[in-house]
Amino acid sequence: MAAKKILVLGGALSGPAAATRARETDPEAEITLVGRAKGVNPALDALALRLSGEVSDSRRLEPRRPGYYRNVYGIEVKTGVTVQAIDAEKKKVKTDDGTLAYDALVYALGAQTVWPEVDGLEGASNASALDSVKDLRRVEQLLKQGKKKPPVTILGGGPTGVAAADALARRGAKVTLVEHSRQLLPGFSAPAAARAAKALEARGVEVWLSAAPDVAHRRKRRVRQIQLTDGRTVDTELVLVATGIAPRSELLAEAGAELRDDRTVAIDERCATTLPDVYAAGGVVASVHAITRKPVWTGSAADADKSAQVAGANAAGGERTLSPTLGTTIVRAGDLTLARAGQTSPDLRISIVPGTPTDRSLGDRSKVALTLYFDPKERLRGAEAFGTGGVVERIRVLATAAQGKLRLEQLADLDLGHAATHGPVRDVVNVAGRVASRGVAPVVPWRAVDLDPPPEGVMVIDVRASKARKRGRNAPAGAKHIRLPRLREKAKDFQSQKWVVFVCDTGREAYLAATIAHGLGVNEPGYLSGGLAHFDAELERPV
């Protein structure tokens, strides 16, 4: 029998991963990898770290030489080749370098930025996306030509736009970030997104929310000014387009493959498309969500890599199935890191707990706040974290916990070990699990939105010390003030109330007050989860 011909389309991250896995599965196959560009594209934040000037070593962005794949894996690599059409019936792929036949095909052409329809934007010589090393070099070039502190406009406030804004602000550019919706970072909660905006503003970035570009005014081929739909304008020397990425699925659709509504290629759990012997992987496919079990397109490099391995193995005759995703996302915005994992939909129960990523006794001022999302049986479904330290570690622990279906009680008791440089004896993950679980005391976390204003019949008690109260944020209108140490002696003031909700700056003292109130006979006492600091951000109403 002749060797099986496996053709892999896509020379970036997913293509090579699929091709090498195919080789491990079938040692005899003729494997050919076709790539449009010459380079591999690292994940977004590696590009951003170069854009910011924090990492200068750009040699490492060079791809492995085709010879490496040939010698080690016996894979034929064709770079600089563009795919033009796929004939699924005849099992042939037409390229600008001739026609290639296949027995099995892996389609891994990735995703790319979708440019918004703005008059004058397309074709402008000073507008670019940030999808690839090529884009990075182009942007670098444009920045070098400009002023010392060039005005840059970034369209789109998703992870790409935020990372780019952060990087360019670090480099000294005057950045305006324009986002059409009411918050940055869809997929993150409103309070987290509000913190991200503030952190960027602290670095000098202008964040314009609920703002859409209308016209790009050009002089010759260069955009000089962006006009928004509400009439405002912003002068600019460079426009970075980050309004969202979409799968490059057209060629497969033209060949007759079924697409999903989000334009990803429809695949089964083996990454097989609806075309015979055609597999799809990487940025063109969705993964199944580990918690909701629904298909979800994350655009994440980690997910792309996983589907590539499955598609490659199966194209070579293997039997692997695609593992689920948690949609884990990590974004940097100024001094703040934000991260999320799992299911964080607003219909789940939540608990917000602030803490420190190091032992308080070390005097480090970093902070990290966790929001847990869980079901009525107290099983962890997802989490969000933001702060100035320890965020990535905490979200990875919580992602692993969600994958392992841990209950809040188990999270409270999880043995994370202890290192003062990595947290207090009771880590914020443990505290979050304990506070969220109703096992200890039947106290109820309240959300800021439910106290703005407090509903009829709810007594709000501010338990902060007078000094903290003067310095801190305002309590909800009509709040009573009883300092925590006086709670017992003032019990009569609230014992007979039907609904009592305690508030403080962080949620910590208020939680304690609620457990004490429970002991004093109050039924289901509440506390403002996350505290007034969080409250403020959550209630912020962007223009």
Chain positions 298 to 327 lying near its own copies, rule: CB under 8 A, are 300-303, 305-306, 313, 320, 323-327
Report the site for its own copies in 213-242 (rule: CB under 8 A): none
What letter would DSSP give residue 362?
G
CB of 367 to its own copies, least distance (A): 16
User: Which range, of 189-197, 229-237, 246-254, 519-527, touches its own copies by CB under 8 A?
Assistant: 519-527
Q: What is the nearest approach in angstroms of its own copies to the Cβ of residue 271? A: 13
Q: Where are the beta strands (DSSP E) in 80-150?
A: 83-87, 92-95, 98-101, 104-107, 111-113, 127-128
Contacts of residue 164, Cβ cutoff 8 Å, sequence gap at least 6: 48, 51, 130, 154, 240, 242
Instruction: Give the shortest CB-323-to-its own copies separation in angstroms.
Output: 3
Helix (H, G, I), strand (E, B) or coil at 319: coil
Q: How far apart, in whole angstroms, are the C-alpha atoms of residue 310 and residue 66?
A: 22
Question: Binders of its own copies among 338-367, rule CB under 8 A?
Answer: 339, 341, 359-363
3 state SS for 322-334:
CCCECCCEEEEEC
Q: Which stretch binds its own copies (CB under 8 A): 52-60, 80-88, 188-196, 240-248?
A: 52-60
For 296, the 3-state DSSP assignment is strand
Min dist. Cβ of residue 326 to its own copies (A): 4
Cα–Cα–Cα angle for 127, 129, 131, rounded to 5 degrees = 155
332 lies in the site for its own copies, by CB under 8 A: yes
**Residue number, 208 or 386, with CB nearest to its own copies:** 386
191: CB partners within 8 A, 6+ apart:
448, 530, 534, 537, 538
β 287-288/295-296 pair status? antiparallel
Among 3, 43, 85, 477, binds its own copies (CB under 8 A): 43
User: Which residues inside 452-491 make contact with its own copies, applying CB under 8 A?
Assistant: 484-488
Contact 86, 252 (CB under 8 A): yes
Nearest distance from C-beta of residue 5 to its own copies, angstroms: 17
Tell me which residues in 121-180 interact with its own copies (CB under 8 A): none
CB of 102 to its own copies, least distance (A): 20
Q: Shortest Cβ distance from residue 87 to its own copies (Å)?
A: 30
45 versus 540: smaller Cβ distance to its own copies: 45
Query: Among 80, 101, 521, 523, which residue sits at the site for its own copies (rule: CB under 8 A)?
Result: 521
Range in contact with its own copies (rule: CB under 8 A) among 38-46, 77-85, 168-176, 347-355: 38-46
Q: How far apart are CA 237 and CA 224, in angstroms?
A: 6
Q: How far is the CB of 48 from its own copies (least distance, A)?
A: 8
Residue number with CB closer to its own copies (118 or 444): 444
Provide the token pair at 446.
């309240």
Structure tokens at 379: 């099983």
Question: What are the C-alpha distances in Å from 120 to residues 61, 77, 126, 128, 245?
Answer: 32, 39, 11, 13, 20
- The minimum distance between CB 420 and its own copies, in angstroms, equals 4
Distance CA 503, CA 477 (A): 12
Contact status: 65 vs its own copies (CB under 8 A): no
Minimum distance from CB of 464 to its own copies (Å)?
13
Q: Which of 37, 114, 465, 520 binds its own copies (CB under 8 A)?
A: 520
Stretch that binds its own copies, among 146-154, 227-235, 243-251, 509-517 (CB under 8 A): 509-517
The torsion angles phi and psi of 191, rounded to 5 degrees, stand at -60, -40
Among 53, 64, 68, 481, binds its own copies (CB under 8 A): 68
Cβ-based nearer residue to its own copies, 153 or 351: 351
Question: Distances from the Cα of 160 to the Cαs of 46, 48, 274, 331, 542, in angstroms?
Answer: 11, 9, 32, 9, 21
* Residue from the set 1, 2, 57, 98 that interacts with its own copies by CB under 8 A: 57
Which C-beta is closer to its own copies: that of 17 or that of 83?
17
Cβ of residue 95: shortest distance to its own copies, in angstroms?
27
328 contacts 41 by C-beta, under 8 angstroms:
no
Residues in region 393-452 near its own copies by CB under 8 A: 393, 395-397, 399-401, 403-406, 409-410, 412-422, 425-426, 439-441
Residues 6+ apart with CB under 8 A from 485: none
